[in-house]
Amino acid sequence: MKPLSGLDALFLHLETPATPMHVGAVHLLQLPKGHRGDFVDDVKRHVARRLPLSPVFTRQLAPMPLNFANPVWVRADEVDLDRHIHRIRLPRPGTQRQLEAAVARMHAKCMPRDRPLWAFHIIEGLQSGDLALYTKVHHATLDGAAGVAFAQALLDLTPKPRKVAPAPRRSGEHPSLADLVGTAVRTTGVQGVKLIRQLPQLATALAGLVKGGGAGFGRNLAFGPRTSFNGQIDAPRSFATASLPLDRVKVVAAAHGATINEVVLTVIGGALRRYLDAHGGVPRKSLIAAVPVSLREAGNTEATTLATMTLASLATDIEDAAARLVEVRAASAAAKAVMKQLRGAVPTDFPSLGLPWLLSAAAGLYGRLGVANRIPPIANLVVSNVPGPPMPFYLAGARLKTYWPVSIVEHGLGLNITLQSYAGSLDFGLIAARSGLPDLHRVARGLGEAFAELEAAPPPASSPEADNPASA
């Protein structure tokens, strides 16, 4: 048995039919020349050999009696791949829009909790002749960085799959009532001690921020303007994709003395300016992005969530692209200064006795009462940048041509833009609550338009040289 951390369990307790808490990715697949047979069967055989390589494949939830504490992970008796790997066929003509609409429908559905929390969908019928793969994994299982490690267990660097040594068959875990209660009590004690030990460090870090004038803390800690995607949401989703050439993004970053992430935030700000200008007008106040920050140490590939959030201005109130980047750089520097002081002091684990009842009830009430419609948004959207591999990956001999992420939206945060670098490209996956942002493809198109504008903009004469212009 493996207890869930407090942060991992949050994604379970806050999940409702309107706010599923799984993440995933969409890949276009190029089959090897001369491929024969059924690729879905190929994938099932491939995954069957890889099951021992990641706990994500084989662990499932064992709930506590009366749900009085967080569940624990246990090893499943078996993994029925027919319940995890599915075939989907698009209607003709099989366009990219149809693919994105199919992903939006599948991503809107919560995952069943009576089995390991992952699913693969092989999508046929694309007019390009490619196949597509849509993966779906619950966020309680892993974060973005751990997702990369999970992908590395599943995928290969060459069309010929690497050999995987067969693992001995292991029986499933079936903890008794006494085992579950004992684990809950012990885990709560450990979590409580850990939290108590972290509190002085957190208090010291916060005091240092206040004493130092906030180290720019106030620059980003301001309510964002209300937009159509900052209220209560329902289940239907819209999904769109975009890609930018990584080498050109690096050139722009170097020219402006910026990081790749600062260029990305500036481009997203420009895309949202275009969207808002066509849908009611651009707010005078800048939109604020909630940006996940990994707390994972180098080499840590544990399948769990180790991240926190910071806030960053997108400078959407500035029309000029180069001037917007200057402001984004300043806001980013302020956010980095805050995280430098708080890193290591932010708790990611905490006691869970009684929390499932409290959090599940609170999540349901928050949605039903429409609280997000009544309070100003601390942030307007989530923007997440996940470093990925510079080389292409292969699945059962098929080359992954794209790596578009699919993430989570919540009440008050009805838009999520997650990107991943992959094989020379920055691949963007945009997911939104359809009721609040029906024209999501306008935002996706705007990313390319905003990047072209920034690429053509001369950097300010006073722009300082970047310390590390090619970094993310």
User: Higher confidence at residue 183 or residue 320?
Assistant: 320
- The correct CATH number of 2-180 out of 3.30.70.20, 3.40.50.300, 3.40.1190.20, 3.30.559.10 is 3.30.559.10
What is the reported pLDDT for 402? Answer: 98
Q: Is 92 exposed, middle or buried (CB count within 10 Å of its CB: 0-12, 13-18, 19+)?
A: exposed
Give the whole-angstrom CA distance, residue 22 versus residue 273.
Answer: 29
**Predicted local distance difference test score (pLDDT) of residue 66:** 78
pLDDT above 90 for 160: yes
| Percent of the chain predicted with pLDDT > 70 | 82
Give me the active site residues, please: 139
What is the reported pLDDT for 467?
A: 44
Residue 429 sits at φ, ψ, to 5 deg, of -115, 120
Decide if 204 contacts 348 (C-beta within 8 A).
Answer: no
Domain boundaries, the chain: 2-180, 201-347+373-391+401-456
Q: In this predicted structure, what is the pLDDT of residue 58?
A: 94
- pTM for the whole thing? 0.87
- Above 90 in pLDDT, residue 285? yes
Cα–Cα separations (whole angstroms), residue 370 to 231, 234, 366: 8, 11, 6
pLDDT at 349 over 60: no
Which residue bears the tokens 């029925």? Answer: 80
Is pLDDT at 104 greater than 80 in this prediction?
yes
Query: What is the rounded average pLDDT of the residues 147-159?
Result: 87
Residue 360 reports pLDDT greater than 90: no
Q: Which amino acid is at 226?
A: R
User: 250-273: per-residue pLDDT in tens?
Assistant: 999 999 999 999 999 999 999 999
Q: What is the mean pLDDT of residues 63-79?
A: 88
Burial class (CB in 10 A: 0-12, 13-18, 19+), 464: exposed
Query: What CA–CA distance (Å, rounded) separates 158 from 152?
Result: 12
d(CA 113, CA 34): 39
Examine the pLDDT at 382 and tell me if it is beyond 70: yes
Distance CA 91, CA 74 (A): 39
> What pLDDT score does 298 carry?
55
Does residue 195 have a pLDDT over 50? yes
Range in 68-82, 185-199, 306-320, 425-439 the model is least confident about: 185-199
* Domains 2-180 and 201-347+373-391+401-456 are alike in CATH topology: yes
pLDDT at 201: 54
Task: Give the number of other CB atoms < 10 A from CB of residue 220.
Answer: 21
- pLDDT at position 213 is 46
Q: How many residues does the chain have?
A: 472
Computed over every residue of the chain, the mean pLDDT equals: 85
pLDDT at 214: 47
Residue 305 has a pLDDT of: 52
Q: Which residues pair with 85 in a beta bridge?
A: 120
Sign of CA dihedral 405, 356, 301, 341: positive
Whether omega for the bond prior to residue 93 falls within 30 degrees of 0, making it cis, is: yes
Separation between Cα atoms, residue 74 and residue 422, nearest integer Å: 33
Task: Give the CATH H-level superfamily of domain 201-347+373-391+401-456.
Answer: Nonribosomal peptide synthetase, condensation domain (3.30.559.30)
